[in-house]
Amino acid sequence: MSIGYKNYARFIEKVVSKKNKVSQSTNKKVQSTVPVSETKSVEKRVKSGVQNKQFSSITSKETPKQKSTKNLSRTRKSTTSIVVDKASVEFPLLDIKAKSLRHVIMRKFGYKSKWEDRLNKLRNEGLTQFRTKEEDLKQLGARFFQDESGFISVRALEKISLILKKGDRIGLLGRNGAGKTTLLRLLAGIYEPVSGEIKINGAVTPMFALEAGMDPDATGYENIRLRAQLLGLTNEEIDHIQEEIADFTGLGDYLNVPIRTYSSGMMVRLSFGCATALRPEILLMDEMIGAGDAAFIEEANDRLENFVGAAGIMVVATHNPGILQEWCNKGILLEKGRVKAVGEVDDVIDLYDRDLQLVKGQ
């Protein structure tokens, strides 16, 4: 093995020496072909370019008027707002047949399979309990319908209209399937409305999964920088945040090892620290984020209060009325994809409790 390695090293040295000789010869040829007059003109152009750059750097200083307009633009950004005007979200419920090219082509040209013909005959004779698509739709309710392509679809949200301004702390209440998570994803830009429109002024920070975007093979420090780079931060900002998150998590030397070796509590500390390091303009949360062991909860709650307090607008979806009373100043009750009530937190909670009692009574 040692002889082979020496021969390989000699071969590499020969290749490198040949490349150096070739590059030196080409440089000589290029220098000989360029006339002296052209080199002088190039030097003049370079000097003039440098002077122009210096002049532009001097003249690019902001005038008082430019500074005032720049500050004005910042104040405009600070006026965060969300306007949702009659927005609806629909999802097709695709089965195995929907993925079959033969089935799609046959249905487009009006052909029916032998199985469907036999099933229709059995239905007409009353020999089967299989429901028709129309009967299925009646059984499912008004949120389900048949689209133009023949598939059954569901209206997850129907004609939602909201106006949120800076300082609003909104709590979304509703039973499972009411549309809370869908509304949050609509505001985050994950879903597009099939009708209506949404106007958002401000940067949206969705917090649906704390550990999203983390690389298990990277170290704690590397994951901090990765999350910050995804948010578009500069190196100086990343350095400042990295030190701040490291102090908050208290993980010490563990930040130098891959996070796949972390316990669940350590992962919560790191992900919670990364998620709450920046000050959001519009904060969206699907259930209130919690944090790890009892020793960490008190410190995490203080950090969470500062994080939520710095947000221009906060929208949180929850099943817990206590969270609304603690963190929110307005409540929205959703039912079957529609806004049933908007108002004071206590009023919305009372209406939600009454609906739950009615459901239990049935």
Q: Of 63-67, 116-120, 217-221, give the lowest mean pLDDT range.
A: 63-67
47 in any annotated domain: no
More confident residue, 30 or 201: 201
188 in any annotated domain: yes
| CA proximity to 207, closest of 276, 266, 273, 305 | 276
Residues 285 and 202 in one domain: yes
89, 190 Cβ separation under 8 angstroms: no
More confident residue, 343 or 73: 343
Residues 217 and 337 in one domain: yes
The per-residue pLDDT for 200 is: 93
Which of the residue ranges 9-23, 44-58, 313-327 has the most confident prediction, judged by mean pLDDT?
313-327
With both helix axes pointing from N to C terminus, report the angle between 264-275 and 235-249 in degrees, rounded to the nearest 10.
140
Q: Quote the mean pLDDT of the chain.
A: 73
CB neighbours of residue 350 within 10 Å? 14
Residues 91 and 203 in one domain: no
Q: Of 12-21, 230-239, 273-282, 315-324, give the lowest mean pLDDT range.
A: 12-21
237 in any annotated domain: yes
Residues 252 and 175 in one domain: yes
Residues 108 and 180 in one domain: no
Residue 83 has pLDDT above 90, yes or no: yes
Query: Hey, what are 69's tokens?
Result: 């307009």
Tens of pLDDT, residues 117-127: 655 665 566 55
300, 272 Cβ separation under 8 angstroms: yes
103 in any annotated domain: yes
The per-residue pLDDT for 2 is: 45
Residue at a domain's end among 159, 186, 216: 159
CATH of the domain at 276: 3.40.50.300
High-pLDDT (> 70) share of the chain, %: 60
β-strand pairing of 144-146 with 313-317: unpaired
Residue at a domain's end among 107, 126, 159: 159
Residues 154 and 172 in one domain: no
| Beta strand segments in the chain, E | 81-92, 144-146, 152-165, 169-173, 195-201, 204-207, 282-286, 313-317, 330-335, 338-343
| CA proximity to 189, closest of 174, 179, 204, 209 | 204
Residues 138 and 186 in one domain: no
Residues 200 and 138 in one domain: no
Residues 323 and 176 in one domain: yes
Average pLDDT over residues 20-46: 46
The per-residue pLDDT for 315 is: 94
Beta-bridge partner residues of 146? 152
Tens of pLDDT, residues 227-278: 888 877 888 888 889 999 999 998 999 999 999 999 988 998 898 888 888 8
Residue at a domain's end among 103, 135, 159: 159
Coil, strand or helix at 339: strand
97 in any annotated domain: yes
Residues 304 and 330 in one domain: yes
123 in any annotated domain: yes
Residues 227 and 103 in one domain: no
The per-residue pLDDT for 59 is: 32
Structural domain harbouring 142:
83-159
125 in any annotated domain: yes
165, 312 Cβ separation under 8 angstroms: no
Q: How many distinct structural domains can be found in the chain?
A: 2
The per-residue pLDDT for 103 is: 64
Residues 258 and 349 in one domain: yes
Tens of pLDDT, residues 146-204: 766 666 788 889 999 999 999 999 999 988 888 999 999 999 999 999 999 999 999 88
Residue 114: which pLDDT band, with cuts at 50, 70 and 90? Answer: low
Name residue, tokens 């007409």: 124
High-pLDDT (> 90) share of the chain, %: 28
88 in any annotated domain: yes
